[in-house]
Amino acid sequence: MANYDPYFVQGRDATGRVGLSTEQKLTCAMRQLAYGVTADFFDDYMDIAESTAIEILEHFTRAIWNVYHEHYLRRPTPADLRRLLDKAAERGFPGMIGSLDCMHWQWKNCPTGWGGQYTGYKGKPTIILEAVASYDTWIWHTFFGLPSSLNDINVLGQSPLFNDLASCETPQVSYEVQNRHYGQCYYLVDGIYPKWASFVQAIKNPRTSQTKYFTRMQEAYRKDVERAFGILQARWAIIRGPTRGWSKENLQFIMMTCIILHDMIVEDEHDEDAAEPFDPNDIPTILKQAHIYDRIPDQDTSVDRNPNWLNQFMRRYREVRCPVMNKNLQDDLVDHLWSMKLQADENDQ
């Protein structure tokens, strides 16, 4: 932090008196994030004025964003996709790369003029965070700042979640479920989301044993994003309670800083020295359950002047929102999970 922002380097004021050290400033910022204490708490604890504590937090959150967001808020690389797809196939959901949901953060000092816009069904002004989390609670996608008067569908309509997919900038994934070929990944979501090919919801009223088992497994694995939200709020008390900030920009930097530091902890807790589990799909004679191809984006992205690119964009747009593919994928996953359960029961016997 000191190498990036000279603000954190200890210096002297105009009178020659030594200022706050780097450790004092970083401790002040981290305690505000981790414990949610007020800025005037440090007046007695660390001899830091309230205005200085607020200034330190602003510098800290912006420095964290500028230094680390390209790595810890990146979209999955082909290696990341391989790891996520292998884990999803082991769970019985081939092609799944995470769970999608929204979280609300109460805004205590919301400006009066924005109160109606940011007040939703909870009766208090809140700001929405849309996130995608994987099985290890790593948050791969974040979209923060929308008012609580919107629901999850409206947030999805403004989210850049599928921009890279529609613009052909993501690796192409190919996999099969019950001998049916699919060419795009999907997310596990709850029932409010639309019936798109990129989403798999639980069955609302399951009646057969197969559908009941599928719904139970889908709801269990969809809790990955809920667990990520819980861990995020447990680690950073500043987003667990109502925020006392006035600026929406500062709140965005605070939320992104907490998510970046959360992903840092998740990466640090990975056991790199542990032996990799044996994967039968790595045998050359056995086909991979999911194939990943590097896809190069088109050079000319001028939609109004390139009708071929526009047609490709619309085709990918329709594929993401295809309800028929959503139904086929859900039915195939029901049969796939049930066959895995029967095979596991036979092995146990």
* pLDDT digit string, tens, across residues 218-253: 999 999 999 999 999 999 999 998 988 888 999 999
Confidence band, pLDDT 50/70/90 cuts, at residue 174 = confident
What is the pLDDT at residue 297?
45
Confidence band, pLDDT 50/70/90 cuts, at residue 136 = very high
Say whether both 135 and 62 belong to one domain. no
DSSP-H helix ranges across 21-171 = 22-35, 42-45, 50-72, 78-91, 115-118, 152-158, 163-166
What is the pLDDT at residue 270?
77
User: What is the Cα–Cα distance from 42 to 319, expressed in whole angstroms?
Assistant: 54
User: Token pair of 68, please?
Assistant: 């680390």
Say whether both 134 and 219 belong to one domain. yes
Q: Is 91 a domain residue?
A: yes
Contact 341, 213 (CB under 8 A): yes
Range 196-214 average pLDDT: 93
Residue type, 279: D
Say whether both 242 and 132 belong to one domain. yes
Say whether both 121 and 19 belong to one domain. no
Tens digits of residue pLDDT in 294-321: 544 444 455 556 777 778 878 888 888 9
Q: 38: part of which helix (H) or strand (E)?
A: none
Q: Is 346 a domain residue?
A: no
What is the pLDDT at residue 289?
54
Say whether both 153 and 86 belong to one domain. yes
Range 135-157 average pLDDT: 92
Q: Hey, CA dihedral for 213, 219, 224, 227, is it positive or negative?
A: negative
Q: b/e map of 318-338 (b: 16 or more CB within 10 Å)?
A: ebbbbeebbebbbbbbbebbb
Contact 197, 319 (CB under 8 A): yes
Contact 98, 222 (CB under 8 A): no
User: Token pair of 222, please?
Assistant: 């969809």
Helix axis angle, 209-235 relative to 323-348, nearest 10°? Answer: 100
Say whether both 65 and 92 belong to one domain. no
Q: What is the pTM of this model?
A: 0.87
Q: Give the CA distances from residue 210 to residues 138, 216, 248, 333, 335, in Å, rounded to whole numbers and listed in that order.
A: 30, 10, 47, 10, 7
Last residue of some domain: 267, 283, 306? 267
Tens digits of residue pLDDT in 57-84: 999 999 999 999 999 999 888 889 999 9
Summary mean pLDDT of the chain: 86
Q: Is 140 a domain residue?
A: yes
What is the pLDDT at residue 337?
94
Say whether both 116 and 183 belong to one domain. yes
Last residue of some domain: 267, 285, 320? 267
Percentage of residues in the chain with pLDDT exceeding 70? 90
Say whether both 86 and 45 belong to one domain. no
What is the pLDDT at residue 336?
93
For residue 306, what is the DSSP state? -
Say whether both 147 and 164 belong to one domain. yes
In the predicted model, is pLDDT for residue 194 greater than 50?
A: yes
The candidate with the shortest Cα–Cα distance to 144, out of 134, 136, 155, 133, is 155
Number of domains in the chain: 2
Q: Is 29 left (phi over 0), alpha (psi -120 to 50) or beta?
A: alpha
What is the pLDDT at residue 233?
95
Q: Is 327 a domain residue?
A: no
Last residue of some domain: 267, 298, 331? 267
What is the pLDDT at residue 280?
44
Q: Is 273 a domain residue?
A: no
Say whether both 185 and 63 belong to one domain. no
Q: Is 154 a domain residue?
A: yes
Say whether both 56 and 149 belong to one domain. no
Say whether both 52 and 99 belong to one domain. no
Tens digits of residue pLDDT in 244-279: 888 899 999 999 999 999 999 999 987 654 444 444
What is the pLDDT at residue 290?
59
Tens digits of residue pLDDT in 92-133: 999 999 999 999 999 999 998 898 999 988 789 999 999 999
Q: Is 296 a domain residue?
A: no
Contact 88, 107 (CB under 8 A): no
Domain, as residue range, for 15: 6-70
